Amino acid sequence: MSALTRHTGVVRAALHRMFTSPLAGFLNILVIGISLSLPAGMYVLLQNAQGLVAQLSGLPQISLFLAMDAMPDDIAQLRKQLTQQPEIKNIEFISRTEALNTLGQGTGLDDVIAGLQSNPLPDAFVITPKTNNAKSLEALRNELQQIPKVELAQLDSAWAYKLEAILDFARIAVLVLASLLSLALIAITFNTIRLQILTQRDEIQVAKLIGATNAFIRRPFLYFGALQGLLGGITAWLIITLSLLLLRQPLAALSQLYASDFSLQPLPLGDSLSLILFSIYLGWLGAWLSVARHLSQIEPR
């Protein structure tokens, strides 16, 4: 008998054993699927939220508002200083007059603005940095704030970067949740295999009497754990996929109200495979720990 034939037979036996009690087998797989879908689903939502933040925040910019007493020589010196900054990608100067005209055209208050005795707006530079990292942008803003004749350095879309910080915190929370649920899934498989070993205690003793090795006895249980993990991982993927499909239409209607084309993206192929492989590993690990713990206690009499 070839190795492939032996392993195929073990897989069939493991599947048969899994569904000897269909309800119990189905509930175990469902518990694994739901437990895995919780952190994996939160991960998918966080990935989509990260895309939404990038869409809303756009290209980050820093606005430098100059002091009201800034002279043309000061502006020229500041422009030269800014062009020497390696972190800056583009510089745009907006004069006080240009800013006031833009304000009047945008608000329809040209008559009111024309009646002003003096221009209350300062000259400004709009800077486009090379990076969109929140910490780097904050450091650059603080550095620019210290330049003479700069009254205020304002980081545009700062709210989006605060939201990004919240998302970073949420990723850590998802990681903690995934770790705890992984331990729970290992415990489920551990207990399932333990019950099977105790049920087949006499068979294992007879097998050892006729010369069966621990590896031979261990193999069906490891396959059982891996198959249970595989089916649980597939169940988790189905739960996530169906949930995203149910949420897609309401989210599309909500996006239209805010003139946005944002839509939920499904779990990528690579992440889907990682989810299923991780589930298989958890099932195998739980089975291996259980067999290692209890098999050594069973010796032929």
Question: Which is it for the CA torsion 56, 62, 67, 73, positive or negative?
Answer: negative
Query: What gap in Å lies between CA 218 and CA 295, rounded to an integer?
Result: 8
Residues 174 and 150 in one domain: no
Question: For the chain, what's the residue count?
Answer: 301
One domain, residues 98 and 244: no
Torsion of CA 134, 135, 139, 140, to 10 degrees: -40
What pLDDT does 281 receive? 93
Element (H or E) spanning 62, and its range?
A: strand 62-66
Assess whether 126 and 26 both reside in one domain: no
**Judgement on whether residues 138 and 186 belong to the same structural domain of the protein:** no
* 195 and 114 housed in the same domain: no
Domain boundary among 132, 156, 180: 156
Same domain, 189 and 291: yes
Could you tell me if 212 and 284 lie in one domain?
yes
Could you tell me if 63 and 199 lie in one domain?
A: no
Burial status of residue 209 (CB atoms within 10 A of its CB: 0-12, 13-18, 19 or more): exposed
Are both 170 and 268 inside the same structural domain? yes
Domain stop point among 130, 156, 182: 156
Give the per-residue pLDDT at 198. 80
CA 267 from chain center: how many Å? 10
Taking the CB of residue 5, how many other CB atoms lie within 10 A of it? 9
- pLDDT truncated to tens, each residue of the chain (301 aa)? 566 666 677 677 666 676 677 787 788 889 889 989 989 888 888 887 776 665 555 567 888 888 888 888 888 888 888 888 888 888 888 887 776 676 666 555 555 555 556 667 788 888 888 776 777 788 888 888 888 888 888 886 666 667 677 778 888 888 888 888 889 888 888 888 888 888 877 777 777 777 777 777 788 888 888 989 999 999 999 999 998 888 887 777 766 665 566 677 788 888 899 999 999 999 999 989 888 887 776 665 5
Query: What are the residues facing 125 on neighbouring strands?
Result: 64, 93
Which is it for the CA torsion 37, 42, 45, 51, positive or negative?
negative
In a shared domain, residues 197 and 124 = no
Domain of 101? 59-156
Number of domains in the chain: 2
Return the CATH number at 70. 3.30.70.3040
Indicate if 121 and 232 belong to the same structural domain. no
Distance CA 243, CA 33 (A): 13
Last residue of a domain, one of 105, 127, 156: 156
What three-state secondary structure class fits 86?
Answer: coil
Looking at the fold, whether 192 and 287 belong to one and the same domain comes out as: yes
